Structure 1
Amino acid sequence: MGDLLTIENLTVSYGGIEAVKNVSLSVPEGEIVTLVGANGAGKSTVLKSAAGLVKPKSGCIFFKGQNIAAKPPHEIVKQGIALVPEGRRVFANLTVKENLKIGAYLRKDDLKESMQHIYSLFPRLKERRWQLSGTLSGGEQQMLALGRALMSRPELIMMDEPSLGLAPLIVKDIFDIIKEIRNEGITVLLIEQNANLALSCADTAYVLETGRLVKKGTGKALLRDESVKEAYLGKARQQKRSNKNGT
């Protein structure tokens, strides 16, 4: 299997400020790939560019060998890419089931099998399928956002901060689902502020700093990298020590 997504020399500007500067990376088919870095490093901009939500200043974005950099978002979804946005962004006044159907708005076939698959991944969504999405907990809304993206039957699913604001037990559930999705053959491109968690589950990892790509390696290798530990894993280690000391 080769690379499903390839980004070459991507530069993105907001006004006169370059948020992403000449970034090149690849996402091999069947892998979990993560981008880690501080807030404002340009991680979300890379995902939004691949989803067609932000137009690059320069560079190419290839999906299955075709340059999609100039395509609108609905065409990119149709080709097999889905984005789970930061902050979940469910339709609060619609039911869970209605939100899931919106994820399949480009499909013309019967949705029953896909809906049952989503309910098997997220039994809680089945229990609450007639509930207004705005009344769900944060964890349930994240499950719904992920389920909604899966309803388009993507080959590549991109996730922007799936653990943001969630309790640790819910985060574990979400990451178990991410691994299960990969095991089903869907490629995953992940942004996650919890670098320890992201690197632990990633096959390949990239580090972005102020819009530039500064490191690449396996998730396990970057977990052991001293500069990555110092910059992104220090808080996690301190928290573990605090928990052991009972503070």
Structure 2
Amino acid sequence: MLKIENLCVSYGGIEAVKGISFEVPDKSIVTLIGANGAGKSTTLRTVVGLVKPQSGKIIYNDKDITGKSSEEIVRNGITLVPEGRRIFPNLTVYENLKIGAYMRKDDYSEDIKWVYDLFPRLKERSWQFAGTLSGGEQQMLAVGRALMSKPELIMMDEPSLGLAPLVVKGIFEIIKEINKLGVTILLIEQNANLALRVADQGHVLETGRIKLSGKGQELLENAEVKAAYLGNKKHELAQQ
């Protein structure tokens, strides 16, 4: 579905992404893991048109979308759940969801019901101001808002950031459920354990380059990945 070919991105003369290439197959979950500053978020922001690449190509469904506007990219079926959620705090839950469908011309009332079915907590708080929600509820709203554009590919930037372990577990159950419904997912996640457990394919980024690639389970068992990113979290996860 998505092909990244020799992508290079620079900020103020500093290369943040240095010629990376990878693919995201249709209906799969692919994760990018790595330390802060590795180029993960920059990659997603470039795919969705928020950052212009220096060179390379972004191919989506056999169409070159390199350098296209964010609006055009969203219309083509890609959406981003940004780091930090970026919900509209002074609007209600319902109004935030409506904004997610702002480019649609069809009746999206059934999709709002679908989002409420995925996130019953949001339905309970439909007329509550989004800024008064808990961190986990705001993350649910950010995902639900992204789904309102009816994406074929949804990209998520650190969906577990700042959330309690039980809430994180619930978010990842929703990620798997969305994927089962046929939505392709490109995921950036600080919790490498959880990310690799749900991912079909993973890529390890270091200072703007892909250092390792493989199936999620293979990377979980890779000694280098364990030492750098997993630590003792595997044992903690097993106890949950």
Classify the TM-score, shorter chain.
over 0.9
Deviation at 1:59, TM superposition (A): 0.3
**Residues paired across the two proteins, number:** 240
1:220 corresponds to which of 217, 222, 230: 217
Aligned residue number for residue 104 of structure 1: 101
**Does residue 73 of the first structure (1) align with residue 70 of the second (2)?**
yes
1:131 corresponds to which of 105, 128, 131: 128
**Does residue 153 of the first structure (1) align with residue 145 of the second (2)?**
no
Aligned residue number for residue 85 of structure 1: 82
1:188-222 Cα deviation digits (max 9, x unpaired) = 00000000110011000000000001111000000
Matches for 1:175-214 after TM superposition, within 5 Å: 175-214=172-211
SS at structure 2 position matched to 1:228? helix
Match for 2:132: what amino acid? T
Match for 1:74: what amino acid? E
**Does residue 61 of the first structure (1) align with residue 58 of the second (2)?**
yes
Deviation at 1:78, TM superposition (A): 0.3
How far apart, in 2, do the equivalents of 1:209 and 1:155 lie? Answer: 28
1:162-184 Cα deviation digits (max 9, x unpaired) = 00000111111100000000000
How far apart, in 2, do the equivalents of 1:16 and 1:72 lie? Answer: 22
For structure 1, list consecutive stretches of 5 or more residues without a partner in the other structure.
Answer: none
1:49-70 Cα deviation digits (max 9, x unpaired) = 1000000000000000111111
Q: Is the Cα–Cα contact under 8 Å of residues 193 and 234 in structure 2 kept in the other structure?
A: no
Aligned residue number for residue 114 of structure 2: 117
Deviation at 1:48, TM superposition (A): 0.3
Runs of 4 or more off by more than 4 Å in structure 1?
237-241
How far apart, in 2, do the equivalents of 1:237 and 1:148 lie? Answer: 32
1:1-60 Cα deviation digits (max 9, x unpaired) = xxx000000000000110000000000001000000001100000100100000000000
For structure 2, list consecutive stretches of 5 or more residues without a partner in the other structure.
Answer: none
CA RMSD of aligned residues (A): 1.4
**TM-score normalised by structure 2 residue count:** 0.98
Aligned residue number for residue 7 of structure 1: 4
